[in-house]
Structures are given as C-alpha cells and as structure tokens.
C-alpha cells in the first residue's frame, strides 16, 4: 500500500522550523514524517539479522509505523496512554516508539538491566497500559517475577512468530495493514500538540524510588534543535547506536536528531563487535559515554603496540607532536611551514590509518553522561577526530552544554546550547532554564517544586563554575 499520501498530508499540516524561534512548532511524529517524505527511498536504519547487515528505508519504516499505529489503536490505545518498552536497541524498538507517539501515547523506556522489583515499581507508578518486550530470553525471563496484577497488556518486539503464543509486533503490524483507510492515524496525528507528553523517563533512584521525568514533544524537539547546531548532522550523516534507547542522550541526540534530518542510524549489537561494525558501517558520528571512548582508545593503543618497534616509535612520536601542536594551536593548523609538513606527514602515514580502522569518515565524537578523562579527549582531538564533551541530565531532555568543533576547551563541558540559560547559585549549584526543561516529575509535585523553582530554574544538584570565556566546568555534587 502506498504510504506517500499520508506522509504528504502530515508534511502539509505541520508548520515547521521557524528559524528565529527557540522551539519548533511541531511534534516528534510530524518531524519524522516530514523527513521521511524528503528521504523516502533512503536507508533510515541499518541492523543485523542472522549476521547479515540489512537496512530499512524511510518509506518502509513509515509504512510499518502507520500499520503498527493502527494495530495499537484497534487494541485500545488511547491518547495519553503510557506504553513501556523493555528491550535492547533493535529495529522494532524504533518502530514501536514512533508508532506509540503517532497515536498520542507516551513512551516509558525501561532499562534492561533493572531487576524485576524495579521494573514492577516503574510499571505501577507509570500506569503503563501496554508493555513491549524484547524476544531475548534473558529479558523475557524477568516477566514472571513481576506481579501480574499490575496488568499492562504485553507484546513481543519481534517481526517473527512470538514465543508461547504471545502477540508480536508483527501481529499488530499485520492487523493495521489490513485496514484500508488510514484516517484513524491521520486524526491522531492532527490532534497531537507540542505540549503533549512524549516520554516519562525514570531516573536511577539509587537511594529512593526512581522518579519519572515528564518530557513533552516541545522539550525534546527544542533540545534536538540546540544539539543539532553542535553535531552538524545532515542527510549524509550516519550514527552508530550504542547507548540504550532508554538513555535520554541516545534518544534525543542519536534517535531523533538523525531521523529528523533524514540521516541514518546503525544499530551495534554490543561493544565487542564495535571494531568490526565501525569498519563495515563507516559512521560519521559516534555518541556515547566516556567508557565507550576509553574502549576505542584502548583498542587503538593495542593495535599500535602490536606493530614493529620502528612503527611504534613513529606512532608514539607522532602522537606526542600532535598533542603538543593541539595544545598550542587547538584545531587550527600550526603557523610554521616545518610544523605543517610534520603534521601533514603524520596525518598521512599514521593518523589516517587510525581513522581508517573506524571506517575513515568520522566527523564527530560526542561524549556525555560522566566526566571524560582529559588524556582521552586530547588524543582524539590531536589526531583530527573532534571529541566533544557535553553535560546534561534527563530533566533537561538532556543536553545543557557542549563543546563544539570551533570552540573545544578540554576539561570543560563547553558553552550552554543557544536556547539554554545557565547560572551558578550562591552555593555553587549549576542552574538551568530553557524550553527543554522537563514538565516535572510524574505524580510527584513535591519533588517537582524542589527541582524547579518559582522562576523556572532547574536545580541540577551539580556544582559548577563558568570561566571568563563562558565554558562550564562541573566540580562535584551538591
């Protein structure tokens, strides 16, 4: 069935991207369908199936989203219903999330490493009506340990036959495909507002029960807009999806930004297969936590150490010279002709080989979620791969600040995004204000009032400092 009419209909109804405003006047599904309309035959997501690399185009992805949306509606999903997803990153996760949002539902991502008691707490607190679960046995085995009286209707995230006579996402897609009229989903999309909730993401809750961070479509889209200026993603960009989709950084900066831009995402099964995936996929962007970039760095050093003593010395000397040059000049080329020639030689015979081992097309590494060791950042920036450290929290959708390729001060988390305000309180706490700040904590007004003051400032709980150039440094916890 031709899906182009509905994409054109969604494209025509949305009043998108006013360049001088802080918030897009649109919702997540509208931005996706607009992008799909422009990139209809282009690959959207790469994934592995039985060891083979496959892809799904924007047109095919749109078709599945519309069909699954109708299948969900026919199963009783109403606007405002919460839908939990318990899964590793997989193609069906993307299809499911965009379908739920297209129906006006609210996504509740769950961490696959959470124990059954934590999952039970979140399912109960969120009032989830549906639960989509990975077909992986280790994840399915958690379900019998969850109180059945909580009662969300369960579906299995597989496009094959589901185990134990369960209903699969394939069954729902097939159900929706049988419906000739797509009017139901068109009406749902038309009824969506930027102020509607898109997600409730639960924080870790180390010493207390996790709190549900309520993020609207406007929250997430405004953050995507701000972060896009840093990441410079276009239709030719390709990102490797490594962080779990339950992580706010992955959701905004990898999932939404790339699909909004008509770019592509490649799902990496696990960190062990990353070197092979990098060579096979040749990504332009990698977004992750410091541990990921430490792992990439360690693999590079291991490869260098396997080489002959002459080559090792060449690499070691080259890296030291590159770091010295970067400390003196940043990303700019050194002034002296001799220095330029040395770096050009090193780049050709050493650094290009390192970049080649990662596919040879890397433009940006973005790190968030924790402090990045300075020597890791210095290494990648010195060899010509911008590694940008950022700061954020789920309550801000999540990115607050980030270094850029033009202004990258190692040891800091950069400047605030253009649509974000920051200040340091009298007791040294970093405060944040802007359109990406959460609506509040789900069913917890007291915690919301403690987090967001009467002037709209979000109290992050992190201590920080802002230097004379406007770069932010995180110094500890309050």
Least confident of 23-32, 285-294, 338-347: 338-347
Range 429-439 average pLDDT: 98
* Reported pTM: 0.92
**In this prediction, what percent of the chain has a pLDDT beyond 70?**
89
Q: What is the number of alpha carbons within 13 Å of residue 92 lying toward its C-beta?
A: 22
Read off the pLDDT of residues 28-83 as tens digits, 9 standing for 90 and up. 999 999 899 899 999 999 999 988 999 999 999 999 999 999 999 999 999 999 99
Sequence-distant (6+) residues with CB within 8 A of 220 are 28, 198, 199, 251, 252, 256, 397, 436
Cα distance between residue 412 and residue 406, in whole Å = 14
Cα distance between residue 436 and residue 434, in whole Å = 6
Range 262-273 average pLDDT: 90
Report the b/e string of 312-349 with b at 16+ CB within 10 A: eebbeebbebbbebbeeeeeeebeeeebeebbeebbee
Read off the pLDDT of residues 357-382 as tens digits, 9 standing for 90 and up. 999 999 999 999 999 999 999 999 99
Read off the pLDDT of residues 290-319 as tens digits, 9 standing for 90 and up. 999 999 999 999 988 998 998 888 888 888
pLDDT of residue 6: 60
Asked if residue 11 has pLDDT above 60, the reply is no
Neighbours of 263 (CB within 10 A): 23
Read off the pLDDT of residues 119-157 as tens digits, 9 standing for 90 and up. 999 999 999 999 999 999 999 999 889 887 887 888 888
pLDDT of residue 313: 87
Q: What are the DSSP E strand ranges found in 60-104?
A: 82-86
Read off the pLDDT of residues 191-209 as tens digits, 9 standing for 90 and up. 999 999 999 999 975 456 7
Confidence of residue 353 (pLDDT cuts 50, 70, 90): confident
- Tell me the Ramachandran region of residue 129: left when phi exceeds 0, alpha when psi lies from -120 to 50, beta otherwise: alpha
Asked if residue 4 has pLDDT above 60, the reply is yes
Q: Of 325, 361, 359, give the one whose Cα is nearest residue 344.
A: 325
Cα distance between residue 30 and residue 39, in whole Å = 14
Confidence of residue 271 (pLDDT cuts 50, 70, 90): confident
pLDDT of residue 366: 97
Range 388-415 average pLDDT: 97
Total length of the chain: 478
Confidence of residue 16 (pLDDT cuts 50, 70, 90): very low
Asked if residue 389 has pLDDT above 80, the reply is yes
Helix, strand and coil percent figures for the chain, each rounded to 5: 45, 20, 35
Helices and strands per DSSP (H, E), number in the chain = 18, 20
Sequence-distant (6+) residues with CB within 8 A of 442 are 125, 126, 200, 211, 212, 213, 214
Per domain, the residue ranges of the chain are: 4-288
The most confident of 148-162, 165-179, 221-235, 313-327, by mean pLDDT: 221-235
Q: Is 266 helix (H, G, I), strand (E, B) or coil?
A: strand
Range 234-239 average pLDDT: 97
**In this prediction, what percent of the chain has a pLDDT beyond 90?**
70
What mean pLDDT is reported for the chain? 89
Confidence of residue 10 (pLDDT cuts 50, 70, 90): low
In CATH terms, 4-288 corresponds, of 3.40.50.300, 3.40.30.10, 3.60.21.10, 3.40.50.12780, to 3.40.50.12780
pLDDT of residue 323: 87
């Amino acid at each position: 069935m031709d899906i182009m009419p509905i994409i054109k209909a969604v494209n025509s109804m949305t009043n998108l991207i006013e360049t001088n405003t802080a918030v897009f006047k649109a919702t997540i599904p509208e931005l996706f369908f607009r992008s799909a309309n422009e990139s209809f035959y282009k690959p959207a997501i790469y994934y592995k199936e039985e060891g083979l690399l496959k892809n799904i185009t924007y047109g095919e992805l749109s078709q599945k989203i519309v069909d699954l949306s109708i299948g969900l509606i026919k199963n009783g999903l109403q606007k405002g219903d919460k839908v939990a997803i318990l899964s590793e990153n997989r193609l069906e996760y993307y299809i499911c999330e965009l379908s739920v949002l297209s129906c006006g539902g609210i996504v509740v991502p769950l961490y696959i490493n959470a124990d059954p008691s934590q999952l039970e707490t979140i399912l109960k607190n969120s009032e989830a009506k549906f639960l989509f679960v990975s077909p992986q046995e280790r994840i399915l085995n958690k379900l019998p340990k969850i109180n059945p009286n909580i009662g969300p209707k369960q579906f299995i995230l597989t496009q094959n036959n589901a185990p134990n006579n369960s209903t699969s996402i394939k069954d729902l897609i097939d159900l929706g495909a049988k419906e000739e009229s797509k009017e139901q989903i068109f009406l749902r999309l038309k009824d969506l507002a930027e102020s509607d909730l898109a997600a409730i993401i639960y924080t870790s809750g180390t010493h207390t029960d996790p709190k549900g961070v309520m993020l609207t479509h406007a929250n997430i889209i405004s953050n995507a807009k701000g972060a896009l200026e840093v990441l410079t993603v276009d239709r030719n960009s390709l990102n490797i999806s490594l962080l779990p989709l339950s992580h706010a950084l992955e959701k905004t900066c990898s999932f939404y930004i790339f699909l909004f831009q008509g770019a592509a995402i490649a799902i990496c099964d696990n960190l062990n297969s990353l070197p092979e995936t990098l060579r096979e996929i040749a990504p332009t962007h990698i977004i992750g936590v410091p541990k990921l970039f430490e792992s990439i760095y360690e693999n590079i050093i291991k490869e260098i150490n396997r080489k002959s003593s002459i080559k090792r010395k060449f690499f070691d000397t080259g890296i030291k010279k590159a770091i010295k040059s970067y400390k003196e000049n940043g990303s700019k080329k050194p002034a002296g002709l001799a220095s330029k020639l040395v770096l050009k030689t090193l780049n050709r015979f050493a650094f290009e080989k390192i970049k080649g081992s990662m596919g040879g097309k890397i433009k940006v590494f973005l790190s968030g979620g924790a402090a990045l060791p300075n020597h890791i950042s210095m290494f990648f920036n010195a060899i010509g791969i911008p590694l940008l450290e950022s700061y954020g929290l789920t309550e801000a959708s999540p990115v607050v600040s980030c270094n850029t390729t033009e202004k990258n001060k190692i040891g800091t988390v950069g400047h605030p995004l253009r649509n974000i305000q920051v200040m340091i309180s009298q007791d040294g706490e970093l405060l944040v204000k802007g359109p990406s700040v959460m609506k509040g904590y789900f069913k917890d007004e007291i915690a919301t009032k403690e987090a967001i003051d009467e002037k709209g400032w979000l109290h992050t709980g992190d201590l920080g400092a802002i230097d004379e150039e406007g770069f932010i440094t995180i110094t500890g916890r309050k």
